[in-house]
Chain A
Amino acid sequence: MKNRLRVLRAEREWSQADLADRLEVSRQSVNAIETGKFDPSLPLAFKLARLFDTTIEAIFSDEAEAWLHEKSQQNDKPA
């Protein structure tokens, strides 16, 4: 699953350890989520959304969603 966690974290100038403290998880967890190696549970995803004052969809997107977005952009292009 793709996510914008690194960008959102960078905007606030937080280190992975800062974010881990705020989420009350290990730094290893934050790193694994950022690199897409680990998908967080729904409660943790909600916690992330609340922390960044946004929605879960604005942080995470699955492959199918990315493909649909790309497809719609291609369709919008003039022939």
Chain B
Amino acid sequence: MEREINDSALSRYKKRMFVLVVILALVSQLDFWEFIRHHPTGALAYLLAVLPALPFIGIMATYGLYVAELRDELVCTVVKTSLLWSIVATLSVTTLWGFLEMLANAPHLQPLLVLPIFGIFLGIATTLVNRRYE
């Protein structure tokens, strides 16, 4: 049944997310510890610096898999529409902030914050789009 397929897609998504969050926590801890204790430089520093980003990329891929595995048309529409709105909102805010930084000396926005900002917009967009079909 498609409802079961949706539920199993959600279940698989949650399992994958749990594994990735655990990996993220471990890698981040080890990475920061390594930087504090041994102050790596050069290629090793670059390699260690990108390690915590990999689980984040995995989290995005996991969400993509979840969308691909959805079978219920309405749920799929809600998720895809929400994704579009959150992409538009994130790009708008970061573009605005970029000009504020460049022209008005606004504080620098860390690129690392873009993903959490996108997550917040995705949450808001999903709530609003869901409301449309209630």
Contacts and interface: CB of A to CB of B under 8 A. Distances in A.
Interface of A: 20-21, 24-26, 28-29, 32, 37-38, 40-41, 44
B108 interface: no
A37 B72 contact: no
Given A20-B3, A21-B1, A28 B133 contact: yes
9 contacts: A24-B1, A24-B2, A25-B2, A25-B3, A26-B75, A28-B75, A28-B134, A40-B73, A41-B73
B72 A25 contact: yes
A38 B3 contact: no
A24 B3 contact: yes
Interface of B: 1-3, 6, 72-75, 77, 132-134
Contacts, number: 36
Contacts of B134: 28
Nearest to A20: B3
Contacts of B2: 24-26
B134 to A, nearest CB: 8
A31 B73 CA distance: 13
B70 to A, nearest CB: 11
Nearest to A35: B133
Nearest to A43: B73
Contacts of B132: 37
Nearest to B74: A29
Given A37-B133, A38-B77, 19 more contacts: A20-B3, A21-B1, A24-B1, A25-B3, A26-B2, A26-B3, A26-B72, A26-B74, A26-B75, A28-B74, A28-B75, A28-B133, A29-B73, A29-B74, A29-B75, A32-B133, A38-B73, A38-B74, A41-B73
